[in-house]
Each structure stands twice: as structure tokens, then as C-alpha cells.
Structure 1
């Protein structure tokens, strides 16, 4: 059990004493907690006393329920407890079907302040225990009736197919409600489903800011190209795109490189981790685009078979790039040659703050060059190097000392920016008088 900043968390089993402990815990939380996280292996017939205890706490604004054994009937009891103060709801379950979700969606209408909803099927290999397309349709209809702004909607690992995506995108295009972040991780979406997402982005995508399609391995290059084309539309305002493990290769990478080269690109984050068909050729294309890009602050290329050739091109682009802050290159085939080029780039780059190079082939020579480069770099805040277990304690202390110096500089820089902002606001108020 934890209690920190009015956030409470408890994990229990399904024995009688566990149920009593959970009930007592929820009752004692009272007005002391605003956020509650429950991990419990309770069954449907054990839900009612738990629900009664939660109902007695009207101050909760955030609830996350990890209840893998609860089915539709159990959620019927739980869904009645959601209060008018609730802003964030997470349901992590394996046995919630479309029927149960329909009842849940109806009760969401009693939560006028709800702005975050995360529906996650933890047992993703059992599609008979997910709510699928029918559930998404129920959810979309409920959101349309609510007519509100949702900062986050997650429908993860629930066997959503292209049909479900098509219905959800049609619902979004009606603009009776807004979703700013949409997470469709780990479903059954193909390039056909992506075509509906792309159409929505082109025609009415000015509200969606973040999209995750991670783990939809049937998207491929066809889907990636459709998304990239949509991002070229003046109506698309997507800032974050997660395409981890989506079977993207050279053709998809080439189209995204063109998007990043465009002055109209709004992307600030692009995650391509786990696309093992990329390799150096694809990364070189993306790297060249980075030299001209002025918006991207985070690039993920973990487990993409990046070698020294791709890393050399990334290093060259970093010498010119003025916006990238996070570069993730873990679990790749980068050796000392690539690390040495990166080290040279870090001596000139003044924006990159986080560089991750774990699980690579970088040896002592590359590690030493990267460490020395920090002596000439005042902005790097965190660098994770390969084979740190084999590095000497002296080397590790040297890296940490240099990074600590940079963190202090960054702290002072932020304090100065705050002072300047407060001064400008004060001057503006005086001018108004």
C-alpha cells in the first residue's frame, strides 16, 4: 500500500481476509485520497462490498482498477460507483465484453468531468475475453452523447479490427466530442484501418495531437505511407506518433523522411522502435531529414538494426539539427565507429539532452570518446551507454560528474526563464494600467 501526494495503491489476492482488507482500505481512505489504484484478483461475487466502500468516497478524481477476474456482471456493480468528480478512469480487465462495456459507457454519462479513459485487456492472447469492435462502437456512441473534450482515450489490446477503427473515426469526424490523445496499441489494425485514420486526419484531424498504433504488426509500409501522406495535410496537427513494432521498412521510412523534411510538419515525437526491417538505409533517410527539420524533439529507433553507417549519418545531422532533445538507439548494432562520430557531434550540438545507447556493440574506445565529448557539451542531461557494467568506476564517476554539472546549468537556465517571464508579465500589467 502506498500513500503519496494523495495517491493510494493496494494489491491483494482473493481470500476473505483480502476482501476485508480492501474494504477497510477504501473506507479509511476517505477524503485523504484523490487517486486510487487497485490490483485485485477478486471475483464477481466479491465486488459488491468493494463497490460499496468506494461509493462512500466521493472525493476520488482518478481510479484505476486492475481486475483480471471480473466479468460483465461484476462491472455492472462497479460502474454505478463513478461519481461526478471523476476525471480519470482506468479499467484493466480480461473479461469485459461489449455487453459489459455498453453498461459501463452508459454510466460514464454521469461523470461530466471525465477526461481520461483507459480500457486495457491485459490477457491479449484471449480474444474471446475482449470487447472488440462492438465495444468500440458502444464507447463511441457514449462519447458522442457526452459532447466533451477527452484528453486521453486508450483502447489497448482489445482485438479491435479495421471495422472498429472505421466506426470510431466516423464518430470522431462528427465532431460532437474531441479526443486529443488516442491509444490503439496492440489491436488487429491493418493498413485498411489506417486508411480510415488517415482520412480523419486529412478532413478533421486538427484536434488529435497524439496517436499510438504500437504493436499493430499488420500495418506495414502501406499503412505508414497513408499516415505520412495524411500528416502532409494542412488540417493534420498530430504532434506525437508511435509506430513501434508495426512492420515498417524502407518504403515507409522514405515517406516519413519526406514529411520530416517538410516545413509544414507538426510532428514533435516519432517512435519507430521495434521495426527490425529498417536498418541503416532507412535510418540514413530519416537522418538526412533531421538536418532540415525544426519540430521533432524525440526520435525512437530502438531495435531497428541500426549499425555504424546509419549512426554516422545521424551524427552528421545532429551537427546541424537545432531541435531534437531525445534520441533512443538502444538494442542496435552500433559499434565504436558510430559512437566516435556521435561523440564529435555532441561537441557541437546544443539541443540534445537525452541519448540512450544501451545494448549496443560500443566498446571502451567509443565509450571513452563519448565521455570526453561531455566536457565540451553543456546541455546533455542523461546518457545511457552500452556495457556500463564493464566500465570502470572512474569512468562512471566522470560521466555522472559532467552530467550533474549540466543539470545544474539547466536548473539555473529554467530559473532565469521563469524570472524573465514574471518580469515581462509584471511590465505588461504596468503598461495596461
Structure 2
């Protein structure tokens, strides 16, 4: 079946994203699941007109003690806090099976987040992934969410709060969860906060990660006012030998080569864990790339993906990159340099490495000056 069509596999997975489903379809679906609740593990209903009435129907399945659903995806489904009332009521009565819940791009708001928090604080709740991107959440919702996670910190692994009105005050609240030694959070997404995170929020975040550095694997702070001062703070986490961060995304964070000095110094002292680095759309320039290249040439560096799109890099920066990759060719798999400043000579140097079987470089993405061809 197609990506957005119906997909059922041995009764375990049902994908109905973008299928123009309304609550009428939910009546039939939930009727079937109530008669046979024990097999379905993953249900995807994203981008449908499910609404609160549809969620109420789905909730009658979730509250069934024989229901073993592990993944429920309801992003872009026009859900409000009324739907959250039914959903959370069901999960409180049967909290032990659902592992992944996606309510992104719904008008859940703080009231909805408060309801969801009552599920998270239940010691029998085993939720590992919670996605609340673009849900009109503010610091008020963060208060309830972080209070719940402080009382039951050991299960949630992945938290997405991107594109909400969180800001520095919200980050300070979340940091109180991260510093808890029982917290096992591996992924934290705080990109595109409508009240952008500044170095003030980074102070709280990095303080928490320095006291409990060993669990977080993926951090996304893109589209915030992190700046060089914020990067310097994050670098103090990266240089900690107990830090296991694998993915760091800092797109559009107003970083210059000054921030790169701190970042690369940290990665030179602790180069073996970071696998994916995205610094796209920052004023890094050739000087910043030269600094990053000193990390790449370290034989202990295991970086697999490096994204430097729209970073004002020219052929001069490409020379430093190719020299570093020649001295340490075995790890980098993907290199992205979209932008209008890389010329033919820089492009050719990088692409030679991609085509050489001695190197592990598999994907090179470059858009040269006034060119329309994507490599």
C-alpha cells in the first residue's frame, strides 16, 4: 500500500494517515477494535478530521484492559482539550501499555497538557515518547508537565516540545527534570520556541546536563537565540567525558566562529560520541569550518553527519574539510553544504572524496553559486 494509505501487518500495525477520516470512520474503527482489542500495537491517524468526538471513540478502546496498543499518532487531527479529557481518562484507567503518543499540531493548550500530565505522574504509566509540537503550550503547561516527570521520571525517553511558547522560563522547569538522576530522557526537542531560548535558558539546561550527563542522546535547540554565549555553555557539557550526546542541532541560532571555537575545543577533548551535528544557517564561515575540520581529522572522531548549509562557506573552507577527511576518512557518511558560496573547485574536491572507495562518504549535498543542480 502507499505511504498514506491503509497498512495493516499481521494485526499489529494500522496506518491511516491522510485518509480524510472523520468521526464517522472512527465509529467503525473503534467498533472493530473493541471486538478484537488485543492484537493492534500501532495506530496512525495523523492528518485526519478526527476531532474531539473521534478521540472520545478511540478512548473507549484504550480503556479496555485487553487493549495492548503501544503507539498512537494523532498529529494534525483538530483535537482540543475536550478530546484530551477522554484520552487521559482512558489512559489513567489502563496506563501500562501505551509507549508512544503523538498529539503534535493540535490545539491542546495548557489545559490539555495538564490532563496528560496526570497520566505521566501515574507510577504505572510506561509512556516513552510524548510529542507535543505546536500545541499552544506555555510555561503554565510546563509547570504541570515537569511536576509529573519529577514524580515519575524513569520511563519517558523522548520529549518533543518544539514550536510552543516555552522560552527560557519553560527550559528552566524542564531542566529540573533533566538533573534528576532517575531521569532517562534521551531525546529533547525545543526547536523553534515562540519565545526564543537565549543563553539564560542555556545556563539552566547545561547546569542540569552537567549534573546528569549520561542519558541524553539527542538535543535540538534550532531556531532559538542561543548565540555564541549559549554554545559556550553547551560546550561545557560536550567536553564532559560522561556526556553521551549523539545528535546536536543548532540551526539558525546566531552562531559565529566565536561559538565554533568553544564547540570544537570541547569536541577535540571528547570526540568519540557525537554522530550528527547540524550548524546550518549560522554565520560560521570559512574560519568556523577550519575549526570544525580539526575535529574531523581527529582519529577518535566518529561524526557521521555534518550539516553546514547556508553558512557562508567558500572554496577555502572546502579545502580544510577535504584535508581533514583525507586524514580521517572512515566515519563521515553525509556532508551537506547547501549555499551560494561554494564554487566549482570546492565542489570537485568534496565530490572526489565521495567517489573514492577509500572513503565512507556516501552523500554530498552542494548547491553552488547561481546553480540549479543538486549533487
Please confirm whether the aligned pair reaches a TM-score higher than 0.5, indicating the same fold. Answer: yes
Secondary structure of 1:406 counterpart: coil
Task: State the TM-score, normalizing by the size of structure 1.
Answer: 0.75
Does the C-alpha gap of structure 1 residues 263 and 131 become closer, same or farther in structure 2, counting only changes over 3 Å? closer
Q: Deviations over 1:145-180 (max 9, x none)?
A: 334232211111111111211121122212333101
Say which of 226, 241, 245 aligns to 2:173: 226
* TM-score w.r.t. length of structure 2: 0.86
Matched residue, 2:122:
174
Residue 212 of structure 1 and its aligned partner are, at CA, apart by 0.5
Partner of 2:198: 249
Gaps of 5+ in 2: 363-375
Are residues 1:305 and 2:260 paired? no
The one of 51, 61, 65 aligned to 1:97: 51
Q: CA deviation at 1:356?
A: 1.1
Alignment pair present for 1:9 and 2:2: yes
CA distance in 1, matches of 2:19, 2:212: 47
Counterpart-to-counterpart distance in 2, 1:10 and 1:263: 39
Residue 264 (structure 1) shift: 4.9
Out of 62, 73, 98, which is 1:118 matched to?
73
Q: Unpaired segments of 5 or more residues in structure 1?
A: 1-7, 13-25, 27-32, 36-58, 123-129, 409-433
Tell me how far apart the structure 1 counterparts of residues 237 and 67 of structure 2 sit (CA, whole Å): 44
Instruction: Report which of the two structures shows the higher radius of gyration computed on alpha carbons.
Output: 1
Q: Identify the residue that residue 286 of structure 1 maps to in structure 2.
A: 234
The 2-side partners of 1:390 and 1:60 are apart by: 53
Q: Would the alpha carbon gap of residues 67 and 340 (structure 1) be closer, same or farther in structure 2, given more than 3 Å must change?
A: closer
The Cα of 1:384 is off from its aligned counterpart by: 1.7
Provide the rounded CA distance (Å) in 1 between the counterparts of 2:244 and 2:257.
25
1:127 equivalent in structure 2: none
Contact preservation (8 Å) 2:354, 2:360 = no
1:262 corresponding residue in structure 2: 211
Number of aligned pairs? 350
**Which of 43, 61, 82 is 1:107 aligned to?**
61
Task: Report which structure shows greater RCO (CA 8 Å, sep ≥6).
Answer: 2
Change (3 A) 1:11 1:223: closer
Query: Which residue pairs with 1:343 in the alignment?
Result: 293
**Cα gap change, 1:351/1:263 in structure 2, threshold over 3 Å: closer, same or farther?**
farther
Work out the CA distance in 2 between the residues paired with 1:366 and 1:407. Answer: 18
Match of 2:240, SS state, is: coil
1:224 positional shift: 0.4
CA distance 1:343–1:64, change in 2 (3 Å): same
1:268-279 map, 5 Å: 268-275=217-224, 277-279=225-227
Q: Distance in 1 between matches of 2:153 and 2:117?
A: 10
Q: Summarize the Cα distance change of 1:265–1:236 in structure 2 as closer, same or farther, 3 Å threshold.
A: same
Aligned match for 1:240, one of 165, 179, 187: 187
Cα distance in 1 for partners of 2:203, 2:121 equals: 29
- Residue 327 (str. 1) matches residue 274 (str. 2): no
Q: What is the distance in 2 between the residues matched to 1:301 and 1:350?
A: 19
Residue matched to 1:4: none
Structure 2 residue 338 is the aligned partner of structure 1 residue 383: no
- Quote how far apart the aligned CAs of 1:67 are: 4.1
**Hey, what does 2:366 align to over in structure 1?**
none
Structure 1 CA distance for aligned equivalents of residues 344 and 211 of structure 2? 41
Q: CA-atom RMSD, angstroms? A: 2.4
